[in-house]
Structure 1
Amino acid sequence: MNVRIARKDDLEQIKNIWKYCFNDPDGFFNYYFQNKYKEENTLVVENEEEIISSLQMNQYKIVLNNKVYDTSYIVGVSTLAQARGKGSMRILMSEALRELYRRNQLISILMPIDYRLYRPYGYEHCYDQLEYLIQIETLGNFKISGEFKKAKIEDVDALIDIYNFSMKDKNGFTVRDKYYFENLFKEIECENGHIYLHKSEEFDGYMIYFLLEDKIFVREIFYKNIQTLKSFLKFIYNHNTQFKNVSITTPIDDKIKCIISNLKDIEIKIKPFMMGRIINFEEFIKTLDLDKINCNLKLKIEDNFIDENNKTFNIDICNGKVQINKTDKEYDIKIDINTLSQLAFSYSTTKEAVFLGKICYKDTKYLDMLEDIFNIKVNYINEYV
């Protein structure tokens, strides 16, 4: 088996693998390959000139710990039925990690169909969402305080403004510019979805939703103030003759739960959403804001797929200046790349990792140093491909 970057003449084979593995509606399938797919960001495994496995490394910019990173979002990991169980996924994922390192990307994200498939490659759970399941009649007491408008391409500046306002206290989110929203309009349209803006004195909220067979599915709902949120909930209620239920996905710190009169009337779930991974630890730590930190720490990282991470690093931080080099000396802390990725994405704390038995350490003072470097935040991301 051979692994390589895709060529133009591979497209039909890659499409056939995708169709077999994901069974997407034609509208979304056509949207994806017309707007998202790029052969230069696609890896394939071939066996005797037949492509048997592929994945895409879709490009995003994400804001992590107030820094913008070019990031590959691994999607479309797929293998033909007759080739499964023969090691092609391991070949594919191993090469993907090497390719991301060669491209000087420091982190990567992935939405898993099964966490067990990707943890062996160093990806770990880093993002949650809230999912509200609500009977629409529950929303009848809210009132509309502004006006609604079906969003169009020319409204992109308002959408960007609302999104940026909503992300100002979030972490790990994608940068959304005009090009992003132009693509998003195509994606939502191909799945028969809707984007509506709310306006009081200015545009102060938007909602993306889909009318499914048995319910309304709200994919995103962002708002600058609580009155706008209440308006959107009444907007949903006004579909009560069509639907009895609504499912709403939101950031983990969303405020819907704060304004429902009886929380016993709704169901709230924590929905695991996305995995993350450090690709280049040595360069990643140099990007962090560590102005108030002074420490010296020998950190041993276990990474089975990126040799450059699989080292003991001597990390010296003095007034925000980081010096890092590899060392043969005994470690102060030992950690695997999965746990380190959760810390780096600010999803979990050092104390949690210790409680779970995921960190070996020589002295608690070194745990305090690690806690100073990585701080927990509210992570949010909502990209599907």
Structure 2
Amino acid sequence: MNMRYAKEEEIDDIKEIWNYCFNDEDSFVNYYFNNKYNNNNTIVACEDEDIVSSLQLNQYKIKLDDKEYETSYVVGVSTFPQVRGRGYMKRIMEYSLNELYKKNQIVSILMPIDYRLYRKYGYEHCYDQLEYYINIEDLKNFNLLGRMYKANEEHIDDLIDINNLFLEDVNGNVVRNKEYYVNLFKEVESENGHIYVYKDGSYKGYIIYFLNGDNMFVRELFYKDLDSLKSILKFIYNHNTQCKKVTISAPINDKIRFVLENPKTIDIKVKPFMMGRVINVEDYLNGLKINSDIELSANVFIEDKFIKENNGTFNIKIKDKKVKAQKIKGECNLYMSINTFTQLAFSYIDIKEAMILNNINKNAKNKEAIHLFELLFKKKENYINEYV
């Protein structure tokens, strides 16, 4: 079993595995391999020189706790059936994690097909979304105050402006620039989707949606104010001769449920969406700052079965509003897995929830470590909406 990066001329081999393992339309596959795929970010496993397993490490920039991190989004984890059950996934995941560590990346994200497959590698659930299921007739009484325009690349600056305002109160989102939206237009087009922008004096909202039979799926509905939201909901209703129902994905802090006339007729679900992982514990901690003059120190053991540099006891100190962490040999005040540490680092849970989930009781030995983590990690509302 040989692990390595893919060669430029092996794109057809990678595409063959992708097509075998995923049920994507040709138009989307062509979009992906023409616009997103990069052999320098593709790990392959070979048997007798034949590629039998692969994954991609697509590059994004995400913002955690107001700090930006270059991150790898693990996608396309795929293995031919003739070698499944022989440890290829374990080997390719372990190799990839250690490559990310060598590249000085601090965090990674992954959208799982099954959480059980990836928890063993240190990835843990860090993002949810709200999903609304609405009968389209329930939207008929809204009014479209401005006008809707089919969006194009000339609208990108306005889309960025709407995105930045709409997501200013969420954590963990991707930093979106012009290049991002150029790619997004191509991705949505490849799946026969639509992007419309709302204008009332200025551009104040946009919607990305797909028509699937009698259902409209809204991937994003971003808005600057409630009048813009209500106007876009009316735009959705104007599809009532084509669609009977609409499914809307939204951040946890979204306001749609507050403007609906009768929420009792609406199904609203929390949908698990994305996993995260801390790749470099020491660098992550050393990049933190806190708004407190307190001085505190504790030894915390992190268990990481795949990145040896993360596995062990770390002395974590808070002094002069900065954090200093270093790996040491010695006893620990608190033990946790890389999974739990990741959820704290992504602000998905706080230390009190971590204690409940891991059956940790507060005692004299771990009191300072718990207090230290209370200062370091605050729970926030996370949102991300990237598919590849």
TM norm. shorter chain > 0.5: yes
1:322: how far off? 2.2
Secondary structure at the counterpart of residue 316 of structure 1? strand
Residue matched to 1:374: 377
Mapped contact 1:63–1:173 kept (Cα < 8 A)? yes
Mapped contact 2:136–2:237 kept (Cα < 8 A)? yes
For residues 359 and 14 of structure 1, the distance between their equivalents in structure 2, rounded to whole angstroms, comes to 45
TM-aligned CA distance change 1:360 to 1:341, over 3 Å: farther
* Amino acid of the structure 2 residue aligned with 1:137: E
Secondary structure at the counterpart of residue 30 of structure 1? helix
1:344: how far off? 0.2
Map 1:33-112; keep pairs closer than 5 Å: 33-112=33-112
For residues 59 and 358 of structure 2, the distance between their equivalents in structure 1, rounded to whole angstroms, comes to 34
- Post-superposition Cα deviations, 1:115-168, rounded to whole Å, max 9, x if no partner, equal 000000000000000000000000111111111111001110000100011121
Give the total of aligned pairs: 385
Runs of at least 4 residues off by over 4 Å: 358-361
Secondary structure at the counterpart of residue 236 of structure 2? helix
Mapped contact 1:333–1:360 kept (Cα < 8 A)? no
1:378: how far off? 0.8
* Amino acid of the structure 2 residue aligned with 1:126: C
Mapped contact 1:335–1:358 kept (Cα < 8 A)? no
1:359: how far off? 4.5
1:286: how far off? 1.5
* Amino acid of the structure 2 residue aligned with 1:16: E
For residues 14 and 187 of structure 1, the distance between their equivalents in structure 2, rounded to whole angstroms, comes to 19
Secondary structure at the counterpart of residue 308 of structure 2? coil
For residues 107 and 244 of structure 2, the distance between their equivalents in structure 1, rounded to whole angstroms, comes to 42
For residues 290 and 192 of structure 2, the distance between their equivalents in structure 1, rounded to whole angstroms, comes to 46
Residue matched to 1:171: 171
Secondary structure at the counterpart of residue 55 of structure 1? strand
* Amino acid of the structure 2 residue aligned with 1:229: L
Mapped contact 2:316–2:325 kept (Cα < 8 A)? yes
* Amino acid of the structure 2 residue aligned with 1:28: F
For residues 359 and 54 of structure 2, the distance between their equivalents in structure 1, rounded to whole angstroms, comes to 32
TM-score, normalised to structure 2, is 0.98
Residue matched to 1:330: 331
Superposition CA RMSD, Å: 1.0
- Post-superposition Cα deviations, 1:19-52, rounded to whole Å, max 9, x if no partner, equal 0000210000000000000000000000001100
Instruction: For structure 2, list consecutive stretches of 5 or more residues without a partner in the other structure.
Output: none
Residue matched to 1:291: 291
Residue matched to 1:251: 251
- Post-superposition Cα deviations, 1:164-201, rounded to whole Å, max 9, x if no partner, equal 11121110000110000000000001111011111112
For residues 323 and 64 of structure 1, the distance between their equivalents in structure 2, rounded to whole angstroms, comes to 19
TM-score, normalised to structure 1, is 0.98
1:294: how far off? 2.7
Mapped contact 2:285–2:324 kept (Cα < 8 A)? no
Mapped contact 1:301–1:309 kept (Cα < 8 A)? yes
- Post-superposition Cα deviations, 1:225-260, rounded to whole Å, max 9, x if no partner, equal 000000011111111111110000000011011111
TM-aligned CA distance change 1:280 to 1:34, over 3 Å: same
Between the two proteins, what is the percent identity of the paired residues?
55
